[in-house]
């Protein structure tokens, strides 16, 4: 039988919000609009936990708590009580604890903290005052992940992270993972993580997998941040850097996102993985699915680089070549996942956890800059997961109070001129992107006519004070050539686009010579040999 939560609250809007949050994580729900009604329901239905607003219209919450603790019924004397206090009245919290409440939260309620506190209290044995082993409760290892829940990025509806999730069907918007950062702040410091060795999973408390036994890793993460001294000097920039994801497993940053997503899917019992891809995501899914023992099916355009096709097939995936663009591949992948049993779609932003793997780039950037941040970050933007993920990481680090600065980088989305829906939306001041008809660019990872997370991308740009810039394929190839000849970095076309984008910003006087500027190279040029050979010819 599932556990039941009683919420005693006279504010209807708060009642609705909390009810959605409680039901999203699988608990039963009871509600009472005043104290006396709450006492009656508690006696009759014996909930497993009580959320108690302190400021009730008939009997105040302190008195309710005292009556429960003096009840003749043993269950009510020991039922966990979580007090909901006013944020401006600090004395409320102490009074609530003295009245017999077990813990408290202040308004306005943070849903992620609410989830964490409820989980903690329901796991507590009030007879001995100890917490049960969370591994026995949710299949996780105590403290390995501080994942609190999932939330729709648009409407805020809550979803359980312990069930297979895709996106918010009501809003057609991505779900975003949230963590119990307040709790984690008191239990972990940044130096502990810095002393760890391994992969991006040294940040496991801030990743969504509850137990290390479910982690599927090929050593992704911890890629270098390189100073580009020669190139910077030639261009007139004092502090120019590049984070080089070409050293990632499978040769691109896609390894990060698919490691996190496949690991969480494995934890939740998924056995069959499907994805549409412009190239590198397919190769990454094939590799991680193979390592996890999953079946994989990959839909990719017919003109996808040969390296992506070969790496997908050699790691055991079924590959379906599609006439058209990634949007056409997505349609066919979606049809297969809906019509055939057991396939889970790993499309960009249509599951919540690729974002979590990509965000670790943001943690590593802050760490590389001694917990300061660059002034400008240029990111090649197709689906936009990396851009949004880095910004999410910065917000989480700020919430943990791990940053040494309050300044934030300007996030610059770089797109190909032949497929620039984000640039068009920014220039027109639109809150969403229009589908880009006739998308064409040799940088296959940028050939995304419309991202599912277009609003998140545009919000990130706006919040950071950034912008978006489009560059030609010719400018991309010239930048790729220059990175290789002057710095020894054989970047993917998408990564080289960030250098081309920087030159465009320089023309417009949108960057200054003394700013710390970071380019993101998202993959290896070795995966685009045919394209580069043709360009050289």
pLDDT at res. 520: 98
Query: Residue 14's domain is classified under what CATH number?
Result: 3.40.50.2300
Q: Are residues 295 and 441 in the same domain?
A: no
Give the N- to C-terminal CA distance of the chain in Å, as an integer. 69
**Model pLDDT for residues 274-317, shown as the tens digit of each residue:** 999 988 999 999 999 999 999 999 999 998 889 999 999 999 99
What values do phi and psi take at 506, rounded to 5?
Answer: -60, -40
pLDDT at res. 509: 97
**Model pLDDT for residues 154-204, shown as the tens digit of each residue:** 988 888 899 999 999 888 999 999 999 988 988 999 999 999 977 899 999
Contact 162, 29 (CB under 8 A): no
pLDDT at 112 over 70: yes
Q: Which of 283, 227, 216, 228 is nearest to 253 (CA)?
A: 283
Q: Are residues 494 and 386 in the same domain?
A: yes
List 412's β-bridge partners, or say none.
378, 467
The helix, strand and coil proportions of the chain, stated in percent and rounded to the nearest 5, come to 45, 20, 35
Omega of the bond leading into 108 within 30 degrees of 0 (cis): yes
**Model pLDDT for residues 67-90, shown as the tens digit of each residue:** 998 888 888 888 999 988 875 444
Instruction: Quickly count: other Cβ atoms within 10 Å of residue 72's Cβ.
Output: 7
Q: Are residues 262 and 340 in the same domain?
A: yes
> Is residue 86 assigned to a domain?
yes
Chain mean position to CA 258: 12
> Is residue 244 assigned to a domain?
yes
Q: Are residues 456 and 390 in the same domain?
A: yes
From 325, 345, 365, the end of a domain falls on 345
Instruction: Quickly count: other Cβ atoms within 10 Å of residue 293's Cβ.
Output: 9
> Is residue 192 assigned to a domain?
no
> Is residue 193 assigned to a domain?
no
Task: Tell me the mean pLDDT in the region 249-277.
Answer: 96
Q: Are residues 238 and 258 in the same domain?
A: no
Q: Are residues 371 and 402 in the same domain?
A: yes
What distance in Å separates the CA atoms of residue 196 and residue 272, rounded to the nearest whole number? Answer: 33
Q: Quote the radius of gyration of the chain (alpha carbons, Å).
A: 25
List 240's β-bridge partners, or say none.
517
> Is residue 98 assigned to a domain?
yes
pLDDT at 118 over 90: no
Rounded to the nearest integer, the mean pLDDT of the chain is 90
What distance in Å separates the CA atoms of residue 404 and residue 369, rounded to the nearest whole number? Answer: 10
- Tell me which residue range forms the domain holding 340: 252-345
What values do phi and psi take at 470, rounded to 5?
Answer: -110, 140
From 345, 374, 404, the end of a domain falls on 345
> Is residue 184 assigned to a domain?
no
Q: Are residues 387 and 509 in the same domain?
A: yes
> Is residue 387 assigned to a domain?
yes
Q: Are residues 234 and 269 in the same domain?
A: no
Q: Are residues 474 and 416 in the same domain?
A: yes
Q: Which of 84, 89, 118, 120 is nearest to 101 (CA)?
A: 84
> Is residue 138 assigned to a domain?
no
Domain count, the chain: 3
Q: Are residues 127 and 26 in the same domain?
A: yes
From 81, 98, 132, the end of a domain falls on 132
| The model's pTM | 0.76
Instruction: Quickly count: other Cβ atoms within 10 Å of residue 457's Cβ.
Output: 28
Q: Are residues 241 and 257 in the same domain?
A: no
Task: Tell me the mean pLDDT in the region 426-432.
Answer: 95
More confident residue, 132 or 92: 92
Query: Residue 434's domain is classified under what CATH number?
Result: 3.40.50.1100
Confidence of residue 96 (pLDDT cuts 50, 70, 90): confident
**Model pLDDT for residues 446-492, shown as the tens digit of each residue:** 999 999 999 999 999 999 999 999 999 999 999 999 999 999 999 99
Q: Are residues 372 and 303 in the same domain?
A: no
């Amino acid at each position: 039988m599932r556990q039941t939560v009683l919420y005693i609250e006279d504010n209807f809007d708060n009642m609705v919000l909390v009810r959605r949050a409680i039901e999203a994580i699988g608990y039963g729900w009871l509600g009472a609009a005043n104290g006396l009604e709450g006492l009656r329901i508690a006696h009759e239905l014996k909930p497993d936990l009580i959320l108690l607003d302190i400021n009730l219209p008939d009997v105040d919450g302190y008195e309710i708590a005292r009556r429960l603790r003096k009840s003749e019924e043993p269950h009510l004397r020991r039922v966990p009580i979580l007090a909901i206090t006013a944020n401006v009245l600090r004395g409320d919290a102490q009074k609530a604890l003295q009245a017999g409440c077990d813990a408290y939260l202040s308004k306005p309620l943070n849903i992620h903290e609410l989830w964490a506190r409820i989980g903690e209290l329901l796991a507590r044995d009030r007879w001995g005052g100890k917490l049960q082993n969370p591994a026995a409760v949710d299949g996780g290892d105590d403290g390995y992940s501080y994942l609190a829940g999932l939330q729709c990025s648009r409407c805020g509806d809550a979803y359980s992270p312990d069930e297979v999730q895709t996106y918010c069907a009501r809003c057609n918007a991505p779900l975003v993972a949230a963590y119990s950062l307040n709790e984690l702040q008191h239990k972990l410091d940044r130096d502990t993580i810095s002393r760890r060795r391994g992969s991006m999973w040294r940040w496991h408390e801030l990743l969504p997998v509850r137990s290390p036994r479910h982690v599927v890793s090929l050593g992704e993460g911890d890629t270098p941040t390189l100073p580009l001294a020669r190139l910077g000097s030639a261009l007139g920039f004092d502090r120019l850097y590049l984070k080089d994801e070409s050293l990632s497993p499978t040769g691109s940053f896609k390894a990060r996102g698919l490691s996190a997503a496949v690991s969480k899917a494995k934890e939740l019992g998924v056995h069959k993985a499907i994805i549409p891809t412009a190239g590198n995501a397919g190769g990454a899914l094939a590799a991680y699915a193979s390592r996890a023992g999953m079946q994989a099916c990959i839909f990719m355009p017919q003109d996808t680089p040969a390296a992506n096709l070969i790496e997908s097939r050699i790691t055991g995936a079924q590959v379906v070549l599609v006439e058209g663009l990634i949007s056409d591949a997505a349609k066919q992948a979606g049809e297969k996942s809906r019509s055939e049993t057991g396939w889970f779609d790993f499309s960009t932003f249509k599951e919540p956890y690729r974002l979590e793997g990509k965000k670790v780039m943001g943690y590593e950037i802050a760490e590389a800059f001694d917990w300061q941040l660059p002034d400008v970050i240029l990111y090649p933007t197709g689906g936009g997961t990396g851009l949004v993920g880095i910004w999410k990481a910065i917000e989480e680090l700020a919430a943990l109070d791990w940053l040494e600065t309050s300044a934030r980088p300007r996030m610059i989305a770089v797109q190909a001129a032949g497929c620039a829906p984000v640039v068009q939306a920014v220039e027109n001041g639109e809150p969403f992107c229009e589908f880009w008809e006739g998308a064409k660019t040799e940088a296959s990872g940028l050939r995304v006519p419309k991202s599912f997370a277009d609003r998140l991308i545009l919000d990130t740009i706006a919040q950071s004070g950034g912008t978006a810039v489009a560059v030609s394929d010719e400018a991309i190839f010239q930048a790729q050539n220059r990175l290789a000849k002057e710095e020894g970095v054989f970047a993917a076309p998408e990564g080289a686009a960030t250098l081309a984008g920087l030159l465009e910003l320089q023309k417009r006087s949108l960057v200054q010579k003394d700013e710390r500027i970071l380019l993101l190279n998202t993959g290896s040029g070795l995966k685009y040999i045919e394209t580069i050979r043709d360009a050289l010819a």
